């Protein structure tokens, strides 16, 4: 299965997907990696692996993902023969026309047990709420903020003395296990196996 990855940051979840592919536990390949941040390390990681990359032109908006940009990205992903789109630390809200171009084929990983703590810096939200556990969720992307159907979740305990950084680091370890497993589950469903 050909994957397309959209990211805004370092690309550690994309690296986890690549590691699973290399280990033979995920039967896929990444066809293209796109970022809204021209200097994002995710693009460097992809280039080092010989993967096609590109920059998303968001027309100067800091957080908005304009429809024209989404249409361009949909066309770029389709040209790369992408079958499943994986958001990996992509910090913009996906809407139409990208959702229409890949119906039920866009995944996101979120650092909380959705529906709890949607949005930004959810590990900080979990600490502030005083919960005993949090975790991560892979879900299908819909037009809402972290509201799509859940595919897989993994729980992470909140330990005494946790800082936002220590909790986030443990959640990321769980994310790196969970995302490839969720992609495999979706792939099996799409292939009817």
What residues are labeled active site? 110
For 39, the domain range is: 2-190
Q: With 0.85 as the threshold, say if the pTM is over it.
A: yes
CATH code, domain carrying 181: 3.40.50.170
Task: Give per-residue pLDDT as tens, 131-146.
Answer: 999 999 999 999 999 9
Counted domains in the chain? 1
Say whether the peptide bond before residue 115 is cis (omega within 30 degrees of 0).
yes
CA 72 to centroid of chain Cα atoms: 19
Q: How far apart are CA 6 and CA 189, in angstroms?
A: 22
Q: Report the run of H or E that residue 85 belongs to, with start and end.
A: strand 84-88
Say whether the peptide bond before residue 185 is cis (omega within 30 degrees of 0).
no
Q: Is the pLDDT reported for residue 193 higher than 80? A: no
Task: Give per-residue pLDDT as tens, 29-82.
Answer: 999 999 999 999 999 999 999 999 999 999 999 999 999 999 999 999 999 999
């Amino acid at each position: 299965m050909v994957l397309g990855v959209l990211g805004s940051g370092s690309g550690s979840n994309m690296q986890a997907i690549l590691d699973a592919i290399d280990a033979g536990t995920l039967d896929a390949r990444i066809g293209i990696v796109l970022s809204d941040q021209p200097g994002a390390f995710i693009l460097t990681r992809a280039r080092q692996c010989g993967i096609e990359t590109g920059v998303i032109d968001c027309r100067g908006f800091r957080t908005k993902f304009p429809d024209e940009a989404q249409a361009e990205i949909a066309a770029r992903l389709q040209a790369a023969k992408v079958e499943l789109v994986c958001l990996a630390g992509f910090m913009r809200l996906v809407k139409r026309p990208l959702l229409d171009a890949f119906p039920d084929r866009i995944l996101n990983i979120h650092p909380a047990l959705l529906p709890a703590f949607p949005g930004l810096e959810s590990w900080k939200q979990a600490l502030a709420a005083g919960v005993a556990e949090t975790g991560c969720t892979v879900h299908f992307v819909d037009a809402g903020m972290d509201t799509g159907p859940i595919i897989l979740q993994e729980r992470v305990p909140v330990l005494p003395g946790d800082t936002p950084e220590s909790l986030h680091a443990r959640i990321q370890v769980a994310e790196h296990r969970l995302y490839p497993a969720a992609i495999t589950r979706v792939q099996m469903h799409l292939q009817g196996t």
